[in-house]
Structure 1
Amino acid sequence: MTLLDNVFELIDLRSFSNLWFWIALAVTWSTVSHWVLGVPWDMAMRARRGHGETAMADFEDMVRINTGRLLYVAEQSGTLLAGMMAFGLSSLAILGFVYGNEFSQALFLLGFPLTGVGLLSLRTARHIRLEAPRGEALVARLARHRLAVQMIGMASIFVTAMWGMYQNMTIGALG
């Protein structure tokens, strides 16, 4: 085997039979559920447990900063970002499910649910700006958001696993 064969074996574009894809999927959803609106979840837990006055103040400041940042980006370039995301996801869906490109299918199955998480984050950020919850109410709001993100993640992993098994059985039967 040449070096080029080794590289292509390591970076196999048959995503659903590749361990690296499944590691990336797990790391992605783990990271997304840990960083709730850009705030690490352990910071929320420290604030909830009452580790000093500064823990809650730091948590509230972090949520305020990240909420403002998220809403600013949405207000300034939300239409452009929505168009780019729609184009990218549509391209991946067509390449993947119409033309049978497995790599595009994998990217779509990873990106589409993350788009839902992004929209959910915008909704939560708007609620936080309007209601201005503080203390335990803010932690509870982020906990509900995190639970919804985890539900989306579980559904995404399930659908991706089912589609991946189907693809591997289909290609295994053909090959």
Structure 2
Amino acid sequence: MDLLHIIYEMIELRSFSNLWYWIALAVLWSTASHWILGVPYDMVQRAQRNGGQAERDLEDVVRVYVNRLLYIAEVSGPWIVALSCFVMSGLAVLGFVFLLEIAQAVFLLVFPMAVVGLISLLTARRIWQEGATGVALRKRLAFCRLYVQLVGVISIVVTAFWGMYQNLNIGAF
């Protein structure tokens, strides 16, 4: 075996038959559903159970992250959207037109996260407009988490079916 063949075997760009891809997918969605607007969801639950200082801490942390997210969207939002669309359309073309499996795999990770980003931005804007605190704030964060989990479930199912199709179609076994 030559060195190039050994390196190719170690890197293995066949993503859907690679265990690390599926581990990364699980970690990605686990993390995305736990950190809502940058706030760990256990803070929301603690504020609901204990109230008082835990509630004030939650409101402070959410205020900081909402202001940060809205500032980033205001200052560089169009550039982020343009760059994201460029990258995702490039991945889609490389993956689904030119049938490059690594591009398909990355697209199936990145596109749903763009949807999560949009959900987070809309939730942050709504929290800021309403000046939500207390129960209303916790409700907004819970609905945001529910929507993120819904996108995650759909993404995992689509990715699993597409990965099975690719593995059976190419004959990875």
TM-score range, shorter chain: over 0.9
Q: Return the alpha-carbon distance in structure 1 between the equivalents of residues 63 and 13 of structure 2.
A: 41
Q: Return the alpha-carbon distance in structure 2 between the equivalents of residues 7 and 139 of structure 1.
A: 50
- 1:41 alignment partner in structure 2: 41
Identity of aligned residues (%): 58
Alignment-mate amino acid for residue 84 of structure 2: M
- 1:87 alignment partner in structure 2: 86
> With structure 2 as the length reference, what TM-score do the two structures score?
0.94
Give, in angstroms, the shift of residue 124 of structure 1: 0.3
Give, in angstroms, the shift of residue 7 of structure 1: 5.4
Alignment-mate amino acid for residue 66 of structure 1: Y
Q: Return the alpha-carbon distance in structure 1 between the equivalents of residues 108 and 146 of structure 2.
A: 20
Q: Return the alpha-carbon distance in structure 2 between the equivalents of residues 21 and 8 of structure 1.
A: 17
Q: Return the alpha-carbon distance in structure 2 between the equivalents of residues 42 and 3 of structure 1.
A: 49
1:89-133 Cα offsets, whole Å, 9 max, x none, are 000000000001000000001111110110111100010000011
Distance 1:172 1:123, change over 3 A: same
C-alpha root-mean-square deviation of aligned residues, in Å? 1.8
Give, in angstroms, the shift of residue 2 of structure 1: 7.8
Give, in angstroms, the shift of residue 137 of structure 1: 1.4
Alignment-mate amino acid for residue 21 of structure 1: Y
Q: Secondary structure at the match of 1:110?
A: helix
> With structure 1 as the length reference, what TM-score do the two structures score?
0.93
Give, in angstroms, the shift of residue 54 of structure 1: 1.3
Instruction: Summarize the alignment of residues 23-102 of structure 1 with structure 2, pairs less than 5 Å apart.
Output: 23-50=23-50, 53-102=52-101
Matched, 1:118 2:120: no
- 2:19 alignment partner in structure 1: 19
Q: Give unmatched runs, 5+ long, in structure 2.
A: none
Give, in angstroms, the shift of residue 9 of structure 1: 3.8
Q: Return the alpha-carbon distance in structure 2 between the equivalents of residues 25 and 64 of structure 1.
A: 29
Q: Secondary structure at the match of 1:33?
A: helix
Matched, 1:103 2:120: no
- 1:131 alignment partner in structure 2: 130
Q: Return the alpha-carbon distance in structure 1 between the equivalents of residues 170 and 148 of structure 2.
A: 32
- 2:171 alignment partner in structure 1: 172
Q: Return the alpha-carbon distance in structure 1 between the equivalents of residues 88 and 27 of structure 2.
A: 21
What count of residue pairs does the alignment treat as equivalent? 173
